[in-house]
Amino acid sequence: MKPTKSILLAVLGTTLGLSTLPAISGTPTETPITPTPQMVWDKALQGEDSGIADLLTPDLWMSSADADFTDALALLQQNIEKREQTRGESIDEANETLDEHLAKFDENGSYIELSKALSAAVALQLLYDNEDVFFSDEKISRLIDQSIEAAKKAESKGDWLIASELFYRLDAIHDQTGTFKDDVDRLTRRLTMIRLYVPERLWELRNERRLAEELDGLPPYNSYGDLYTDKLQGIDSITVRTAIQRAAAQHLSRQSKVDPSGVSMNDLIVGGIDAVSTMATTTDLSAAFLGFADDRQRSQFIRELEAIRAKYADNSRPASAYDLRRAIDSIMSASRDSVSVMPEALLHEFGNGAIAQLDAYTAIIWPDEVARFRRSTQGEFIGVGIRIQLDELQNITIVTPLEGTPAQRVGLQADDIIKKVDGISAVGLGLDQAVEVITGPPNTDVTLTVERRSEDETGAETLEEIEFTITRAKIDLPSVKGWSKNGPTDDDWDYFLDRDEGIGYVRLTGFTEDTTRDFDRAVASMKEEGLNALVLDLRYNPGGLLDQAVQLSSRFVPHGMVVKTVDAAGITQDRQDVRSVNPKYSVRDIPVVVLINEGSASASEIVSGAIQAGAHKGKNKALVIGARSFGKGSVQNVYMLPGGLSAMKLTTQHYQIDSPRMIHKVPGATEWGIEPDLHVEMLPSQSAEALLLRRDADIFPIDQFGNEIVDAERPDPSTLISDGIDLQVQTALVLLQSQVQDSIAKTTMKD
């Protein structure tokens, strides 16, 4: 639930003018109290906005804390005020932009102007801390009504891209109600089909859009590695039927005696038929399937689909696996009699449509997607070891070669532009295409031709093309990072956010097979140098392996349940308790602040929730701060499908922590995810700037010999705090500094 006022809007901000301070009990008193670090921590743990705001006022600490701590408080106050000034300026700017695009739309009726107006409205909504004010604005109501009408008209005319934009932005505004979710899903499905079957048409739509905005056109379309016939190889009826039958029998929301209103086999069959109908009505696909270009044949196919659908739309007659087979066979027969679409394509869309009736995380992993899926869960891939991005001219540019990888050893450098892959032009490739053609089986070669800028002896800029033949190998993707990169290897991190006070910082980008092992190494390293407190940054962490989440949680909580899984009937299927930990890896006895935000999901929610639950019970000293997490608390089991080329993720249970608290965001829910003890707001511009700065700061510039490029420009992570960019990290630092102050004070008293 979005807080009406971020706690840090009060902390050192709007409450600084108070003339009286609350007593610890909360009863007003005229006698100012002398704050103690423990008061600050306790009030933060209780989420007492006004109380902690008063206690963190810098002036109160002048006589009881050292200068560094009061300076840190003053800087936080300054940066809060800076944020609020930026908020006001951004609201004015967003309103001005909104008015400008609305006026242009009224003048010329351009849907692009309407889409830009919606974008400005979304930005405005994010800046307000009261949504009632936002929705009560007459121009917002008018904009929403006009956009709904325009989106429907655009889709009816086959303008899929602009229709998708409009519905997507309408959904962003109404994300709590899900009013436009079905529209977004439908348009996303259309564009996904266009991307798969007629990718050049999607390129045309995107290019037309850029030209309409008077931007530079895209590079010419490049079909390298982009043939749908290759991607559909290995798909057959048995594969698809097996996936759907397993979903009908095991999915969390399946229809059963306990929940007769759940998703049935009928629903799955109808969903599959509807997806094939969407395929048939996406007219751009006629470039791949000529039968769709014949209106008579296409209309005949759609009529037959409607007749097949009618047989299964009535849930009063439960469908079976036999009915599923009959439905698929009927679709194939109808296609042969009319549009003659290749069976693999129909099966692909039928399977996607059926599984989409369940939840966002259950999916068939098709043969061309299996390698990417394994990379995301195992933390490794087979490739050459480069990070790439598209620059402003849509060139595939090397951000950096990774240390110790084949790319670094042969001499690839940052800012090299990839022009060819195995002699075939790479101009116009998308990032996914580039990844697919550069990666491949281990111990195989790939030849990259790059364009490199350099200077000759006179200082004049020169361009040269260089060809590198590289042998692919396994590339590890470490998930544990520190505060500042100080060397080229995965372990070269300065993990201290405040070295003088012994405050460490560990950022987890995921939960892969090596996450806990690498975390232990980081903690052991910090303990050798005097670790007194720790920031665990789980922001934008999408999750990963449950086993790693349980192991990592055990480093913070001494005993008790970490998480349990429950089925649709609420019956516990599995319980994971804290595991034994070597003391040198434990951080149970030091203060910890966990950072989460709306990008923290799944395993990161389990870890932050388990640490928070332990702290609330007095098992450990920890605070969770930031913004409410994403709300992905469902269990997916992965199964290989017949033939071994495809797989599926299937949601079978929900996670619960601190029973009966459930993480998962279910339709219609008002509460989900992990609610932080302290809400610390960052403006969208701050979040974007922090992400970009962190990305660039994490790159350690090296040459082909693995040596540091000394004069390379790199951002300094400390500016995240000094410039008030990352208020969540800065607040975590101040809170932990207060605890270190408390520890020093107690030690001094003992001495």
| pLDDT tens-digit series, residues 298-351 | 999 999 999 999 999 987 889 999 999 999 999 999 999 999 999 999 999 999
Does the pLDDT value for residue 622 go beyond 80? yes
Half-sphere exposure of 437 (CA within 13 A, CB side): 24
Least confident of 3-7, 403-407, 504-508: 3-7
Distance between CA atoms of residues 86 and 105, nearest Å: 28
Q: How confident is the model at residue 371 (pLDDT cuts 50, 70, 90)?
A: confident
pLDDT tier at 743, thresholds 50, 70, 90:
low
pLDDT at 197: 97
Residue 23 scores a pLDDT above 70: no
Q: Work out the average pLDDT over 254-274.
A: 84
479-503 b/e (C-beta count within 10 Å ≥ 16 → b): bbbbbbbeebebeebbbbbbeebbb
What pLDDT shows up at residue 47?
67
266-280, 388-402, 587-601, range with the lowest pLDDT: 388-402
Whether residue 190 has pLDDT greater than 80: yes
pLDDT on residue 748:
46
Q: What is the pLDDT of residue 576?
A: 92
Sketch the domain layout of the chain as residue ranges.
7-82, 380-476, 480-641+653-738
Least confident of 157-171, 495-509, 555-569: 555-569
Average pLDDT, stretch 438-462? 86
Rounded CA separation 29/50 (Å)? 14
Mean pLDDT of 702-730: 87
- Can you tell me the distance from the alpha carbon of 234 to that of 529, in angstroms, rounded to the nearest whole number? 55
For CA atoms 563, 567, 568, 570, give the dihedral sign.
negative
Q: What's the pLDDT at 378? A: 64
Task: With a cut of 80, say whether residue 380 has pLDDT above it.
Answer: no
Distance in angstroms (rounded) separating the CA atoms of residues 150 and 142: 12
- State the fold for domain 480-641+653-738: 2-enoyl-CoA Hydratase; Chain A, domain 1 (3.90.226)
| Predicted confidence (pLDDT) at residue 565 exceeds the cutoff of 80 | yes
The dihedral built from the CA positions of residue 135, 136, 141 and 143, taken in this order, carries a sign that is negative
Q: For position 131, what pLDDT does the model report?
A: 84
pLDDT of residue 170: 96
Q: Say if residue 751's pLDDT is above 50.
A: no
- Domains 380-476 and 480-641+653-738 agree in fold: no
Q: Is residue 24's pLDDT more than 50? A: no
Token couple for 308 = 């097949």
- Whether the ω angle into residue 660 lies within 30 degrees of 0, i.e. cis, is yes
Q: Which pLDDT score is estimated for 384?
A: 93
Local confidence band at 457 (pLDDT 50, 70, 90 cut-offs): confident
Q: What is the DSSP string of 382-410?
A: EE--EEEEE-TT--EEEEEEPTTSHHHHH
**pLDDT on residue 14:** 32
- pTM passes above 0.75: yes
Give 172-176's long-range contacts (Cβ < 8 A, gap of 24+).
172/122, 173/118, 173/121, 173/122, 173/125, 173/144
Going by DSSP bridges, is the β-strand pair 503-508/561-566 parallel, antiparallel, or unpaired? unpaired
What pLDDT is attached to residue 55? Answer: 66
Quick: pLDDT tens for 25-50.
334 445 555 667 777 787 777 766 55
Residues 6+ apart with CB under 8 A from 635: 546, 565, 651, 652, 653, 654, 655
Residue 257: per-residue pLDDT: 62
Place of tokens 């002896």: 457
Give residue 259's pLDDT: 64
Higher pLDDT, 62 or 681: 681
CB burial of 246-276 (b: ≥16 within 10 Å; e: otherwise) equals ebbeebbbbbeeeeeeebbbbbbbbbbbbbb
To the nearest whole number, what is the mean pLDDT of the chain?
87
Residue 3 has what pLDDT?
36
Identify the band that residue 607 occupies on the pLDDT scale cut at 50, 70 and 90. Answer: very high
User: What distance in Å separates the CA atoms of residue 398 and residue 466, rounded to the nearest whole number?
Assistant: 14
Q: pLDDT tens-digit profile of 638-690?
A: 999 999 999 999 999 999 988 677 789 877 777 889 999 988 999 999 999 99
Does position 53 have pLDDT exceeding 80, yes or no? no
Q: Which of 63-67, 215-219, 585-589 has the highest mean pLDDT?
A: 585-589
Q: What is the mean pLDDT of residues 593-607?
A: 96
* Mean predicted confidence (pLDDT) in 495-510: 96
The stretch 461-471 carries a mean pLDDT of 90
Q: What is the 3-state secondary structure (H, E, C) of 638-650?
A: EEECCCCCCEEEE
Determine the 3-state secondary structure of 661 from DSSP: strand
Q: What is the CATH number of domain 380-476?
A: 2.30.42.10
Residue of 386, 405, 404, 408 whose CA lies nearest to 396:
386
Over residues 508-513, the mean pLDDT reads: 92
| Three-state DSSP state, 164 | helix
